[in-house]
Amino acid sequence: MFTNKNNTILWLMFLFAFSFSLDTSNIVVVVLSQHEGYHAAHAKLLKDKIIEETLAFDQNPPKFIFTHEEHVNGSWTYFPLITILYSRFPKADWFLFCLDNTAIKFQGLVKLLDSYNTSKDYWLGHALYDKDPTIIHHFTDQPKKLKYPNVASGFAISNTLMKSLNSRLKIFGIPETDFSIDASYEFANYIFNKGKNGTRLTHVPEFCGFFTTNCVTYPKGFHVCANSVSREKIYVAVKTFDANHQSRIPIISKTWLKHVKNYGLFSNIEDKKLENVIIVPNTKEGHCAKTYAILQHADKILQSRGIDWLVIADDDTIFSIARLTRLLTCYNPNNPVALGERYGFRVIHDDGYEYLTGGAGLVLSAPLVHRIVESTACQCPKSTTPDDMFIFGICLNKVGVRPTHSPLFHQARPIDYSMNYLSSQEPVSFHKFWMIDPIQVYEHWFKEADNELQSTWQHTEL
């Protein structure tokens, strides 16, 4: 009554179901999920797929935690989650942390985890390390190379390690840090405990940086959600001032800005050599007044021209406009959306907050721009207040909007990141013309992607 194919499937199911002793319900899958619809939907897809798989193999589904449902500030830094997770699931064998775009082959993962003894301190994942001290890791120079996980590949912590982290946090409290930048690195630094008696991340090749056949986890590549967003629907505001007109504007004009349909160069003085200069108050530091003036100006432009998105960039931000238009297909411009790279300022302490860091470039939907300029809560305390921390952190909070984090935006230069990390994604931006050739960075990382844009554009123009 069974076909050969069915027999094979049954036999495979039998093999799988009995080839490991680990009870799958003793695994806690912790998705560092986000409120925004696209990201929340992906977290749900990940969960549904794993549940479906466990049901097909007659296993108990694992436990799931979506951090966006936990209402814990700074859960993306991991620290606040440890105590919550350990007290809720003290008997869990494994805690698997991942992102909404992590692909998990659950049967393979369970089989792999089953080969480790959960009564020992284990931390398994896809290890990254720095060649040189880097700004995004606070220039910490590690005597022994610190391995830190690529969280998009997921990482697993054994019960015993979770227990000791929990008691360490209970005794000594959450470490005092002002800035949270690369949470996986900062967490790894804590777990490693300067090599004294901490635990090193174990690199497991099956936790992959990109898909190959033996992977049990890997970061899913980005896929567009609809046809590319028209460049007519994007307005780019470049923050600049006279001293950079000659040195930086020609570089961005030659590389990415030429792909932009609507833009303004927000500067302190007019310049006959430049088009689209808009005068805004300048400040030597902080730039809050300047960025606020940009928002006021941009609000009028977006409203009058029916433009959906405002991009705010520094004059030394480097973009792929093609990838940006693809990325924006996944977000709804009618919602209040703030998209960019998330940093934290004392985010795990009561007085802290998260914000979008300015240099990486950031994107705001038109309704959000309007909401910000309408709200008295968003007026700068001082003209020199740090613009990103205030406007894209404190002010967003006050107008009830959470920033949406995209790891594709980068506050630093390509050389500041681990190459294995960058090769596991398709970056949208980099930042800073400092000891690098920005044209070379553009050509290496973005030109090919943007060329396609040019050809479709020429095609439709014909």
Ligand X SMILES: *[C@@H]1O[C@H](CO)[C@@H](O)[C@H](O)[C@H]1NC(C)=O
Q: Does 120 bind ligand X (CB under 6 A)?
A: yes
Residue closer to ligand X (CB basis): 119 or 423: 119
What is the rounded distance in angstroms from the CA atom of residue 227 to the CA atom of residue 179? 37
What residues have CB less than 8 Å from 431, skipping those under 6 apart?
A: 314, 316, 317, 318, 359, 360, 361, 410, 411, 412, 413
What residues have CB less than 8 Å from 418, skipping those under 6 apart?
A: 128, 129, 130, 131
Q: Does 35 bind ligand X (CB under 6 A)?
A: no
Q: Which of 25, 26, 83, 164 binds ligand X (CB under 6 A)?
A: 164
What is the rounded distance in angstroms from the CA atom of residue 204 to the CA atom of residue 363? 36
Amino acid at residue number 386: P
Amino acid at residue number 6: N
Q: What is the DSSP string of 307-325?
A: --EEEEEETTEEE-HHHHH
Q: Which of 253, 397, 420, 454 binds ligand X (CB under 6 A)?
A: 397
CA of residue 390 relative to chain centroid, distance: 20
Q: Does 132 bind ligand X (CB under 6 A)?
A: no
Which of 409, 229, 226 shows the shortest CA–CA distance to 309? 229
Binding residues for ligand X restricted to 176-215, rule: CB under 6 A = 196-197
Residue closer to ligand X (CB basis): 103 or 348: 348
Interior angle at CA 123, CA 120 and CA 125, nearest 5: 145
Residue closer to ligand X (CB basis): 136 or 399: 399
Q: Does 230 bind ligand X (CB under 6 A)?
A: no
Q: Does 83 bind ligand X (CB under 6 A)?
A: no
Q: Does 398 bind ligand X (CB under 6 A)?
A: no
Binding residues for ligand X restricted to 333-352, rule: CB under 6 A = 350
Q: Does 166 bind ligand X (CB under 6 A)?
A: no
Residue 170: CB minimum distance to ligand X, A: 11
Residue closer to ligand X (CB basis): 149 or 403: 403
What is the rounded distance in angstroms from the CA atom of residue 303 to the CA atom of residue 325? 20
Residue closer to ligand X (CB basis): 113 or 128: 113
Residue 391: CB minimum distance to ligand X, A: 15
Residue 299: CB minimum distance to ligand X, A: 24
Instruction: Write down how long the chain is.
Output: 462
Residue closer to ligand X (CB basis): 117 or 213: 117
Q: Does 117 bind ligand X (CB under 6 A)?
A: yes
Q: Which residues bind ligand X (CB under 6 A)?
A: 73, 117, 119-120, 164, 196-197, 350, 353, 397
